[in-house]
Amino acid sequence: MLSKFLAVIIGHLFGNFISAMFVGKYYLHKDPTKYGSGNPGTANMGAVFGKKAGILTCIGDLLKTMLAICLVYAIYHQHLLTAYTGLGVVLGHCFSVFNHFKGGKAVAVTAMVTVLYDWRTGLITLLIALVLTAIMQNLTIPPLVFMLSFSIYQLTKSLEPGLVFLIMTAVMAFKFRYDIRDFFTGHGKRVDILYTIKKKLGILK
């Protein structure tokens, strides 16, 4: 029990580092919470400040998650603690004490946690989410479908980690609550991923 608690604490400490705020302050010299959607995450950083800012933010979120999980595993050598560490990172990322308990929506964070916990299922569910994103032209529902699907699958294998991942899903859903409302009321923002990719590749002029 103590190891699980410490795993969450260590994850939380790493999660509190908000990559978007770091990139905004030291690279852009701007506060990302005051631009676009106000969310200090990869999507908003990329949409408002460009591809490089979005990529740097995503790398930062992925890296802090990986470092936290690797540190806990190096100490305890228990695979189950990957889930608990991930939960800590998600909580710290979404409710950062260094940013007045405001943070991102943990899409990149949960993606890394799932892949490090069960890489096959993680990659499959991520691929499904990407396809859904392209079809639905929406950045809200696919991440939730991804996490819920992964959590349910883990529940069928083992109750404890499945419940931990369900908690992460619930936290993500809470952070997406206004986006979910907008989606179901027809006011959600549409993002044509395929069009953007084609334009970047020069297929579209």
Query: Is the pLDDT at 12 greater than 90, yes or no?
Result: yes
Q: What confidence tier does 200 reach under pLDDT thresholds 50, 70, 90?
A: low
Residue 165 counted as domain residue? yes
Mean pLDDT across 129-152 = 92
Residue 188 counted as domain residue? yes
Q: What percent of the chain has pLDDT over 90?
A: 64
How confident is the model at residue 201, as a pLDDT? 45
Residue 115 counted as domain residue? yes
Residue 44 counted as domain residue? no
- Reading the block at residue 48, the tokens are 């408002």
Top pLDDT among 200 and 62 is at: 62
Residue 187 counted as domain residue? yes
Top pLDDT among 202 and 184 is at: 184
If one counts the domains in the chain, the total is: 1
Average pLDDT, the chain: 90
- Reading the block at residue 71, the tokens are 């540190």
Range of the structural domain that residue 145 is part of: 2-17+71-200
Per DSSP, the residues of 93-143 read HHT-GGGTT-----HHHHHHHHHHH-HHHHHHHHHHHHHHHHHHT-SSHHH
Residue 28 counted as domain residue? no
Q: Number of C-alpha atoms within 13 angstroms, CB side, residue 82?
A: 18
How confident is the model at residue 204, as a pLDDT? 53
Residue 145 counted as domain residue? yes
Q: What confidence tier does 193 reach under pLDDT thresholds 50, 70, 90?
A: low
Mean pLDDT across 8-28 = 93
Predicted confidence (pLDDT) per residue in 93-116, tens digit? 999 998 888 899 999 999 999 999
- Reading the block at residue 3, the tokens are 């190891």
Distance from CA of residue 8 to its chain's centroid? 17
Query: Is the pLDDT at 66 greater than 70, yes or no?
Result: yes
